[in-house]
Amino acid sequence: MGVFWDRLGSYLTRGYVLRALLLLVCGVLVVSVAWVLELSVGGYSLSAESLWRLHRTQPVLWIVDALPIIAVCIYLLMSRQARVQSKNMAAQLEEQRQLIARNARFAKALGEGHYDVDYGQTQEVDTLGAALMRMRDNLWETAKRDNEESWITRCKDEVGYVLRLHNNLQVLGYEVLKKLVGLIDAVQGSLFLYDADEKMLRGVAGYAYAREKYNQLSYKLGEGLVGECAYERGTIYRTEIPEGYTTISSGLLGDQKPQSLLLVPLVTNESLQGVVEFASIRPAFSARERRFLEEVGEIVARTLFNLRISAKTETLLKESQQMTRELRENEEQLRQSAEEMQVTHEELEKSNEQLEAKIAEAENARKRLHSLLENANEVIAIYNQQQQITYISPSVTKILGYTPQEMMDGKDRERLTQEGVDLLQQMFEGLIREPHLPRTAQYIFLKRDGEKVWVEVVGRNLLDDNAICGIILNMRDITERLRAEKEERMRSKMQALSENSLDLIIRLSREGQFYYANPMVGRYLGVSSAALMGQQLGEVQMPTVLREAFVAALGEIDERREKKWEREVTVEVGGEKAILRLQAIPEYDGGVLETVLLVGHDITEDKRIENEIQDKSRKITESINYAQRIQKSILPDIKLIQQFFPRSFMFYHPRDVVSGDFPWFFEKGDSLYIAAVDCTGHGVPGALLSFIGYFTLNNVADHDSSYSAGRMLDLLHAGVRKMLRQDRAGADAQDGMDIALCKVTPREMRLEFAGAHRPLYLCRGGEVTEFKGDRRPIGGIPNPRHPEGAFTNHVIELVEGDRVFFFSDGLPDQLGGESGMHKFSPQRIRELISSNGALSMPKLGQLFSEEFTKHMGGAKQIDDVLLIGIEF
């Protein structure tokens, strides 16, 4: 009974009981009328006895009497069921609001790069939450991989910088160990170089080792962990340290046994250069550190190999210089012998001059000498002590184009460069200063026909020679010799580069005969380069895919006269698949194909990286496309807008797959709300922010239909700042949005407009009027010295035929035009609106799309674009 009276009391406090009593009274009145009519028809008087008799004769009246009570009971039950349904609906709305708020917070965290944020338990109906979770997982995985690749690349650059600084093996080894120990957080490191002659590994550098102890370390191949690493040429990673292994000494830690060891072989071009060893007191080295050391090991090995080659080259150079000095000493002895022979010859000539009988013979000898000098390949000139020509051989005309007289008149110096004049002057001064030593100079001479040639001049001081009495110069054209020497040097350099190249290099005749092959053929063909020389393509055992590629290259280049041929092939090398990019370059001689140069570059790692990048790109693209489907399913389209505004259009052109600009539409009572919203940024960040704006606008519009457009922007501004935590002390995020918002009451032909940085254009009678928005955004952190006021609410009384347009800043700010640097501009938008009033709204929207595309031309779209036009 207590519960009954309690419920009755709760009903009395509401309006349910009044309506129930009213229903009961009406029912009683109806029953009373029925009684009176029955009594009058039966001739009964109105009394209790008459009523009892009447009920006994007509039992159906009992049912009629119970109808008011039954009606009241049914009414109370239906009222109670309606109240229960109302409570359930309110609970569901509250649950949806909490779900939207949680999704917005999670989306904001992802936009800020917090991929470790926990979303919590997702519901079966929470499609957006599940999509955001998948997006977070994909972004998180991509970020971790990118961070690992960035760390390895940065560390390799730092090690490469250290390798370029030093040429001494001891210093280089220590500095590299120091850098690697710091990068992988080890406490001890050592570097062992491999002596191929003695097949020993000797320690050359150590970090955190006692120097005297370290210098005594040496291992044979297969001896200890170092020898085993060198023998197997594979990384050794141990976390179980053998007994008796070296300890780590520290003033703070004392003597401790390392917890983990990592040994990496230094191998380049399949040549072992050494082993690097690291010890750490940490339980383990990370996979990222092991991968980094394996990749940087080849770089260190290549540097060590180059340093060893440089040391050997320097030794050979010193030996060559010693031999040159010995040859010069021998040359001096020969010169002295020649001078002695010259003296003897002069004495004989003097004797012959005394013999008159020999005059004719001497004249003939002179003529022969003149003929020889005239046709010689050298120019012989004699200068006196004042450096003036006293004689020059007639061969100068054939060699340099000038007559002997022209040369004696000064052409020997006029046709030289200033450098040549200086070299000639220095040679004369040296010959006078040290008359017993010959001098040599090389300089450029300009011939009569304008051709520049290199000449080599050998000078000897014979001023004391009575037969010459001057300085004799032998001049020879060495242009072709220098060119040949240069070609030989270039050929030698190319040979050295080819021999040390990691690419496969082969030269084949057009018939398929091997003319050249670098050492890399052993890796890919399984045959040494020496064994290939002179062999035919069909006689050499090699992978079938390579043979077919070589034959195809020779055939296509020969038949089609291709300038270059290229193909990718996959071959098996050492039990692993390798991808080679083969390039064939024809080599012609006089227009006839002579040989074909085949170069094979290993692009296996490039392909792996390319596939990995494509996989990452695919995952990101799938996530973004999924986000686009979600965004499209939420945002209104033009079909929905045209249900309420039949004469309207929307030009919506996102820059990326998802957009930071979005249209918004809402219906509440007699009012219609429509807006163009431009969020900070574009792409995924802008799209995440658009969800916050979209749902916040829905909540504001649904809360109270009496809100003006300006008041709605005030509430949106507060909601966005609260959602992004910009209202807290120390906040620095300036994210927000611009908006043009319209509240339309079609029945009253009334429009309210409020804007944040965005205007509204009203076209009436061909004249365009601009209603400017406030110069501040939605969201962000306001300046405390300039308090914010309320957003301005513009009220427009509409007339039939009025057109309104509002848009994001991506439309007027787009660059393009002839120079590519002109903006689309608000002025151009006004002109298109005012000059095309005769066009229907759909055709006007199509015109805007065409003009925008034409203006943009080949330029890139810089921002999302949204334009909405409505005719009333």
Fold equal for 166-316 and 376-478: yes
Q: In the structure, what pLDDT confidence band is assigned to residue 127 with cuts at 50, 70 and 90?
A: confident
Q: What percent of the chain has pLDDT over 90?
A: 17
Separation between Cα atoms, residue 257 and residue 494, nearest integer Å: 51
Task: Report, as an integer, the average pLDDT of 23-49.
Answer: 69
| pLDDT score of 88 | 81
- pLDDT computed for residue 651 by the predictor: 94
- Amino acid, res. 309: I
Q: State the burial class of residue 210 (Cβ atoms within 10 Å of its Cβ: 0-12, 13-18, 19+).
A: exposed
Residue 279 pLDDT > 60: yes
pLDDT digit string, tens, across residues 297-335: 788 888 888 887 777 777 878 887 787 777 777 777 777
Given a contact cutoff of 8 angstroms between Cβ atoms, the answer to whether 246 and 228 are in contact is no
The confidence band for 646, taking pLDDT boundaries of 50, 70 and 90, is: very high
More reliable by pLDDT, 748 or 102: 748
Residue 744 banded pLDDT, cuts 50, 70, 90: very high
Cα(777)–Cα(541) distance, integer angstroms: 75
626 pLDDT higher than 80: no
Contacts of 707 (CB under 8 A, 6+ apart): 700, 701, 715
- Residues above pLDDT 70, as percent of the chain: 83
Higher pLDDT, 597 or 44: 597
Q: Count the Cβ atoms, other than its own, within 10 Å of residue 571.
A: 21
Residue 471 CA, chain-centre distance (Å), reads 69
CATH superfamily of 376-478: PAS domain (3.30.450.20)
- Asked which of 286-290, 343-347, 411-415, 543-547 is least confident by mean pLDDT, the reply is 343-347
Which alpha helices (H) appear in 501-637, and where do they start and end?
521-524, 529-532, 544-560, 604-634
pTM greater than 0.85? no
Choice among 181-195, 386-400, 494-508, 632-646 with the minimum mean pLDDT: 494-508
Highest mean pLDDT among 39-48, 355-364, 536-545: 536-545
- CA 531-537-539 angle, 5° bins: 65
Q: What is the pLDDT of residue 365?
A: 52
The three-class DSSP label of residue 310 is helix
- Domain map (residue ranges) of the chain: 2-104, 124-160+603-634, 166-316, 376-478, 501-602, 635-871
pLDDT at residue 851 in the model: 93
CA 114 to chain centre: 23
CATH superfamily of domain region 501-602: PAS domain (3.30.450.20)
Average pLDDT for the chain = 80
Average pLDDT rounded to a whole number, residues 583-612: 83
What pLDDT score does 252 carry? Answer: 46
Residue 246 pLDDT greater than 70, yes or no? no
Query: Per the structure block, which two tokens stand in for 750?
Result: 């009334």
Q: Which of 255, 295, 253 is nearest to 276 (CA)?
A: 295
CATH topology of domain 166-316: Beta-Lactamase (3.30.450)
| Fold of the domain spanning 635-871 | Phosphatase 2c; domain 1 (3.60.40)
pLDDT tens column, 707-742: 999 999 999 999 998 888 887 777 777 788 999 999
Residue 305 CB neighbours (<10 A)? 18
Which of 76-85, 398-407, 656-665 has the largest mean confidence? 656-665
Q: Residue 802 half-sphere exposure, CB side, CA atoms within 13 Å?
A: 16
For 7-23, what is each residue's pLDDT tens digit?
555 544 456 667 777 77
Classified as helix, coil or strand, 768 is strand
Which residues 6+ apart lie within 8 Å of 870 measured at CB? Answer: 645, 647, 648, 674, 803, 804, 841
> In this structure, are residues 163 and 303 in contact, taking their beta carbons and an 8 Å threshold?
yes
Distance CA 424, CA 415 (A): 12
Report d(CA 510, CA 536) in Å as an integer. Answer: 11
Nearest to 301 by CA among 159, 116, 506: 159
Averaged pLDDT for residues 206-211: 68
List, for residues 513-569, the tens digit of each pLDDT value: 888 888 888 888 888 888 888 888 888 888 888 888 888 888 888 776 667 788 888
Look at residues 472, 477, 481 and name the one whose alpha carbon lies nearest to residue 455: 477
